[in-house]
Amino acid sequence: FELGTAALQLAVQAALQPGDEVLVPSLTYVASFQAISAAGAIPVACEVREADALLDLADAAQRITPRTRALMPVHYASYSGDLDAVHEFAQRHRLRVIADAAHAFGCTHRGRKIGSFGDVSCFSFDGIKNITCGEGGAVVSADAELIAKVRDLRMLGVERDTEKRYQRQRSWEFEVAEQGWRYH
């Protein structure tokens, strides 16, 4: 992908429907909010905890509506906080967790690498991140359906064509069911 923001946008679009709400901490870069809205979802700003500047789950609980479908913890300055509590909260409220892990590539939580567990983690490889290739981003998830949809959306929404393109077997007849993007 071109940026970590694109990774977030694709993850939100693949996981949610337009009009769904996403709980997001108020202390984050504008990209988190823009990725949510670009995917047609609605960002809902939540307070952060004074002690560590991470999403305040007590405040987030007060902002849940019937349209709330996900929360986006932001691993601020590489700190992920208590991800176990985040995932328990999400499970209790039947929410997806789409983590903005742009600053957390290579970091760990309780001995596990960020992105190796949980629902969906999105990384950035921008020039100011802790690992860089100039630009770029990644979506990581064990949800094979979500990853397949992300692959399709990043290639203009052409369904089931990404692997073929990289094997030089490009499809000449294809389906596009929703808005996709040109994010390499």
> Residues with catalytic annotation?
129
Phi-psi region of 111 (alpha: psi -120 to 50; beta: other; left: phi over 0): left
The helix, strand and coil proportions of the chain, stated in percent and rounded to the nearest 5, come to: 30, 20, 50
Sheet holding 137-141, edge to edge: 42-46, 21-25, 68-71, 96-100, 120-124, 137-141
Distance CA 11, CA 36 (A): 9
Residue given tokens 């209790």 in the structure block: 92
Token output for 19: 């009009």
Token output for 31: 């990209």
Q: H-helix or E-strand containing 4?
A: helix 4-15
